[in-house]
Structure 1
Amino acid sequence: MERYFNRIWYQTPDPPLFLVLLSLVYRLVTKIRKLAYQRNLLHTSGVAVPVLVVGNLSVGGTGKTPLIIWLVAFLRKHGYHPGVISRGYGGQLSKTSTPALLPRNANPVLYGDEAVLIASRTTCPVVIGKSRLSAARHLLLVSNCDIILSDDGLQHLALQRDIEILVIDGMRQFGNQHCLPAGPLREPLSRINTIDLLVCNGNHFPGAFRMDLVGQTLTNLLDQQQQPVSFLRDKPLHVVTGIGNPQRFFQSLKLQGLDFDTRTFPDHHNYTAANLQFDDDSPILMTEKDAVKCYHLANRKIWMLPVEAQFDSTFSDALKHLLEEKHGRLKTT
């Protein structure tokens, strides 16, 4: 099913008519919902601290998690104490209505791979919950954060936000530009016009700041040994992924001179030992998002490649300006 829709969304300019008709219904429902918020039939509520929402228009992976991690470091540099709210996709607790603060060494099966990755990389408080508003309120109750980053909350209109950042997949962009299910868009493309900052992952897009995800150092899952990516060159290699857009990861590895076969699973896949079994002793490589779910399966063959988001100074300057504009000041260290 996933392959079917990816082919229609990203390789076919004219989707089947029945999907276009369903897309029109979807757009009508989303428009009515938005009007309900605008006319106070549904209510938007704020919290006592600024809220920055990081989201996307298209389904699937665009690079939000590395950006959230970068934003946490940026905000700390300028004197803030950030916290993160997330749905906790893929985790069992994401199906419950009660918000939950991630404990130390949180289990990704319970809390979701992205939330656990953010918490482990940033050590900032992370709360997951179905309702972004409830999660934000809970975060303020259990932490001293003075600014909130909402992971993938662009369409969660119940939570008032101060700044919206939209992440665009530079490889696939917006596909055939249809809304679900005829295309990959959660909202019409015109939504771009209301966004504060556009970020394009790995490419240029009109009006967007370019973000590059750079990974140059491998880490072994068993003993945390580190090696340059060149360590795996000219070796048989298995690359295993369970992410939204694995092709972007594969392309980045090829650009670094690696040759490999692939084994792909759906986004947020929970791994078993059988998923990592091969008929040889060749090394296995995965993303850091996959790795947080595989430490209990670790052996010396398994490596991960963490990535860091990189921008030029224009993005930092634009974000500083927005914070000053919205709140009248920018904290400094």
Structure 2
Amino acid sequence: MTGWVDRLWYGKGRPLWPLYPFAWLYRLISEQRRRAGWQAMSAPIPVPVVVVGNITAGGTGKSPLTAMLAQLLKDESWRPVILTRGYGGKSGHYPFQIQPETSASEAGDEPVMLSDQAGCPVVVDPDRCRGALWALDQGLGNILLCDDGLQHYRLPRDIEIAVFDGQRGLGNGAQIPVGPLRERPDRLSSVDFVVTNGGWLSELDHPHQHTMTLVPTALRHLASGRGVPLDEIRGKPVTAVAGIGNPGRFFDTLRNLGATVSERALPDHHQFRPEDLQCNGDQWLVMTAKDAVKCREMAPDNAWVLEVSAQLPQAFSAAFLAAVNTADQTH
């Protein structure tokens, strides 16, 4: 998301109100797709399926949450597999599993990042049902985590988690294109958990709302992989580049670490070029892990990656694992 989208969708008013006929049409189409998807739902999946998604457009923190859930499940002796659409990838065949040599241009940036961070199999297929069955046929795991699949209704699911940006919330409360909503807020009545990234949303009346915090964990030199303490960035002027859904959150994180930040916000899933990675003098160029997987071959020697991890309260972890165990008993 860029600044102008923030102003139009996440401000107090609805400056795009003349587009309301298109919002009504979008709502009609999305509701028809939902009904058609439920009716065309594939045969039950023989293992628990967890879907992580949102009802708003743009980044909310779904992928860090998915990586955190994968680690939580591994700690409980589950063998999770992450399913992802592979947005932005241009593979000639599906499904496939991310390998160490898989590029972001082939698979998309988020699948490659998730493979690096989650340490579990990541299967890419726009048809999540086909990807799920292929993963099980390959014996890759015994529980499936679908990243950004809330509206992929053909995929049977046991647990749904809706993720929100705690700063943006529901925005102006209107559906696309007047506002950021993919679905009406009453869709939340059917999800199991609501996770808010970086703040509590009082406008969301859900019995299982939990706040997630993205915590910086490391600074890594992109070319060499060498890590340095987070304190190394304190007092340092940096150029921060971000092609993510909410670049402002990334810039604020760097400032909270003590850096003096020159911002360079780019569209979500931006296809980077060498000229996007230039900065003044001997400044560090700092980027997100999601962007870094697309820049490995072109980044200058002063490029660094800020690693973050999702943290949630113990109450969420306990409730989530209890829901997984309940789902497992039904399969």
Which TM-score applies when normalising by structure 1?
0.92
In the TM superposition, what are the counterparts of 1:1-333 in structure 2 within 5 Å? 3-38=3-38, 40=39, 42-93=40-91, 98-206=94-202, 207=206, 208-328=209-329
Structure 2: state its 5+ residue gaps.
none
1:278-323 CA-partner distances (Å, limit 9, x unpaired): 3422111111111111121244311111001111210111112212
| 1:222 Cα offset (Å) | 2.0
Cα distance in 2 for residues equivalent to 1:37 and 1:290: 32
Shift of residue 273, structure 1, vs aligned partner: 1.7
Please tell me whether the aligned partners of residues 49 and 146 of structure 1 are also in contact (alpha carbons under 8 angstroms).
yes
Distance 1:45 1:25 in 2: 30
The Cα RMSD (Å) is: 2.0
Contact residue 45 and residue 133 of structure 1 kept, 8 A:
no
Q: How many residues align?
A: 326
> Structure 1 residue 3: deviation in Å?
4.4
C-alpha separation between the residues in 2 aligned to 1:230 and 1:46?
Answer: 49
Shift in CA distance, 226/2, structure 1 to aligned 2, threshold 3 Å:
closer
Letter of the 2:302 counterpart: K
Q: Is the 8 A contact 1:97 1:131 kept in 2?
A: no
Question: Which has the higher mean CA deviation after the structures are superposed, 72-81 or 224-233?
Answer: 224-233
Give the TM-score, by structure 2 length. Answer: 0.93
| SS state at 1:18 partner | helix
Equivalents in 1 of 2:97, 2:169: separation in Å? 33
* Contact 1:37–1:44 (8 Å) recurs in 2: no
Q: Contact 1:170 / 1:200 at 8 angstroms: preserved in 2? A: yes
- Structure 1 gaps of 5+ residues are none
**d(CA) in 1 for partners of 2:258 and 2:309?**
19
Q: Deviations over 1:18-71 (max 9, x none)?
A: 321111111112222333345x3x344332211100001111110011111111
1:324 Cα deviation from its structure 2 partner: 2.7
Measured in 2, the distance between the counterparts of 1:322 and 1:104 equals: 32
